[in-house]
Amino acid sequence: MVVLGTLGNNVTTVTLFKTENDSMNVYFLVPAHTIGPSLDNVKIKVLGNSNTYLPTPIYVQGVVYPTIHPFLDAALGVLRDPEVLNSIESLRRELVFKYSDTNDITVNSEVEVLYVNTDSRVNVIRTLIISPNFELGTQEGVSPVHNTPPPGGFLELQLDAKKGLSGGLLLSNNSIIGMISINSSTASQNCKEGSESCALTTNKNLAIKMFYLYPWISQVTGNFYRLTLNNPDKLRDILKYNNLETFRDDTIPVVLHLGGDYINNNMSSTFNSVILINIHRYLTRDLVYSDVDSADSNPVNTLLNTNTLFVDWFYSHPADTEIHIRSFTYTDRVTNNVVPIDLNNKNSNILDLFYRASNKASVELEFQAKIVNDDGSVTMSTKQKFTFLSSQTVDVINSRSYTRTTPEISRVFFLQQNSFNHLNRFGMDVDVQKLSFCIQFVRQPDGTFRRERTPGRCP
């Protein structure tokens, strides 16, 4: 179990937890779009959980780590004075993060939602999973083209939107399987108070799968523990915010990059697959991946373009040929197991590769070409398997070098990109909470970049 609180007097639910080997640090997890402008002085009201009720809330101060997870809308932080909670025996026992490392979630599975209601009390409600593999856009009949991981892999809940649910946890058998990120309701455009049309609302409650989020949580907390080693003096020193900025590289999510534009075809086709449209070879200064060289672009090494046999096979087909990814095999970075994924299974997702695969192991992808013949008939080619190796590489963007392993998304994406821009894509047909501030990176005369925070949505 974990301990819940809120962001100050806000109703956004905050999860406070400890990791198994770290006896000192207390971390917190919250949807990134709910974090206010004061990243180094976050006020949290601690309220307890379903087992432990605090008659008087405890207020603590936290610091948000300098890099969020823009694809999964998650922010992590650490408390400045963890002893405030560690000294309370009933809370310390409850703080251990109990996570379910499973992606085997089915439709109509019963789950519990643990959240803080508007009366500042920890509440538990039961609901069902409507979809274990929800992708924004696809369910609305749209097949968007992606060049980075899409807003997908959500758990959709049979639940009306209400205040406090954002940040709430999904529990199955007392283990955490997700965190609610999107909690919204949209009324009819012609809704007038008291009229029947006001009942025509669309509710969306979507939870980030902990199966995808946990590798980043483990990465950040593990690196931070090795820096502090249960020493309060080391914790106080690194939490001077200028010093915490030096921890930025350790908080950058390891997200694998397919290295091509693609359409996730899993829910709109007679057979499930990912359709690969092109192969990325360049990254522009405004952080757009492309297969075309331009004056403002830089060459990058990706998972796909470093295998010349595959590149030759891909371009050997006519332009109107559809190249489908039918399956893949990867090494899981959490369990270290070799995992085969058949995309013909409707519950499978290419996101397993992006968020779970090790960046230090090879990946095998199985392709099949859908060829349109001269007479209009369609032929499916023999399936072809290609192995893509991981290697150390350096991307040079804006005259700066960024070291990474080949499959990873370029580090410059996280260092210079306004990460919250990616969250705007969550919108589509869903009314998401507006951002309360904007983070932008401004180039300095010496060529470095300085982060600036301003109120309101980014331009």
**Backbone phi, then psi, for 146, in 5-degree steps?**
-115, 140
**Angle CA 419–423–429, to nearest 5:** 165
Q: What does the alpha-carbon distance between residue 99 and residue 379 come to, in Å, rounded to a whole number?
A: 45
In this model, does residue 86 exceed pLDDT 80?
yes
Contacts of 180 (CB under 8 A, 6+ apart): 13, 31, 113, 115, 157, 165, 166, 167, 168, 169, 170, 205, 206, 207, 208
C-alpha angle 73-278-325 in degrees, rounded to nearest 5: 75
Query: For residue 240, what is the domain's CATH number?
Result: 2.40.10
Which candidate, 76, 83, 80, places its Cα nearest to that of 216? 76
- Domain-ending residue, one of 198, 221, 251: 251
Confidence of residue 188 (pLDDT cuts 50, 70, 90): very low
3-state per-residue secondary structure call for the chain? CCEEEEECCCCCEEEEEECCCCCCCCEEEEEHHHCCCCCCCEEEEEEECCCCEEEEEEEEEEEECCCCECCCCEEEEEECCCHHHHCCHHHHHHCECCECCCCCCCCCCEEEEEEECCCCCEEEEEEEEEEEEECCCCCCCCCCEECCCCCCCEEEECCCCCCCCCCCEEEECCEEEEEEEEEEEECCCCCCCCCHHHHCCEEEEEEEEHHHHHHHHHHHHHHHHHHHCCCHHHHHHHCCHHHHHCCHHHHCCCCECCCCCEEECCCCCCCCCEEECCCCCEEECCCCEECCCCCCEEECCCCCCCCHHHHHHHHCCCCCCEEEEEEEEEEECCCCCEEEEECCCCCCCCHHHHHHECCCCCEEEEEEEEEECCCCCEEECCCEEEEECCCEEEEEECCEEEEEECCECCHHHHHHCCCHHHHHHHCCCCCCCCCCEEEEEEECCCCCEEEEEEECCCC
Segment 377-384 mean pLDDT:
93
Q: Are 418 and 316 contained in the same domain? A: no
Question: Is the same domain home to 95 and 235?
Answer: yes
The answer, yes or no, to whether residue 451 has pLDDT greater than 80, is no
Q: Decide if 104 is inside a domain.
A: no
* Structural domain count of the chain: 4
396 falls within a domain: yes
The whole-angstrom separation of Cα 3 and Cα 47 is 7
Q: How long is the chain? A: 459
Mean local confidence (pLDDT), 55-82: 92
34 and 72 inside one domain:
yes
Question: Beta strands 282-284 and 289-290: pairing type?
Answer: antiparallel
Given a cut of 50, whether residue 295 has pLDDT beyond it is: yes
Is 225 contained in some domain? yes
Residues 269 and 372 in one domain: yes
Residue of 162 and 209 predicted with greater confidence:
209
Look at residue 453 in the predicted model and tell me its pLDDT: 46
In a domain, 145, yes or no: no
> Is the domain of 222 the same as that of 88?
yes
Tokens of 232: 């309060």
Task: Please tell me which residue, 321 or 136, carries the higher pLDDT value.
Answer: 321
Predicted model pTM: 0.87
Q: Where does a domain end: 391, 408, 425?
A: 408
Q: How many CB atoms lie within 10 A of CB 87?
A: 10
Q: Which amino acid is at 77?
A: G
217 inside domain: yes
| pLDDT band per the 50, 70, 90 thresholds, residue 353 | very high
Looking at the fold, whether 272 and 304 belong to one and the same domain comes out as yes
How far is it, in rounded angstroms, from Cα 239 to Cα 245? 9
Domain check: are 311 and 372 in the same one? yes
In contact, 220 and 25? CB cutoff 8 Å: no
CATH code for position 161: 2.40.10.10
Query: Does 146 fall in a domain?
Result: no
- Residue 101 pLDDT: 85
As a whole number of angstroms, the distance between CA 210 and CA 169 comes to 10
List, for residues 24-64, the tens digit of each pLDDT value.
999 999 998 888 777 888 999 999 998 888 889 999 999 99
Q: Does a structural domain hold residue 290? A: yes
Examine residue 370 and state whether it is found in any structural domain, yes or no.
yes
pLDDT at 431: 30
- Check pLDDT > 70 for residue 365: yes
Domain membership of residue 244 as a residue range? 3-99+212-251
Q: Do residues 401 and 428 both lie within one domain? A: no
On whether both 431 and 323 belong to a single domain, the answer is no
Share of the chain above pLDDT 90, in %: 53
Asked whether residue 289 falls in the same domain as residue 318, the answer is yes
Strands 53-64, 74-79: parallel, antiparallel or unpaired by DSSP? antiparallel
Please check whether residues 201 and 221 belong to one and the same domain. no
Q: Which residue has the tokens 């406090």?
A: 164
Q: Does one domain contain both 391 and 423? A: no
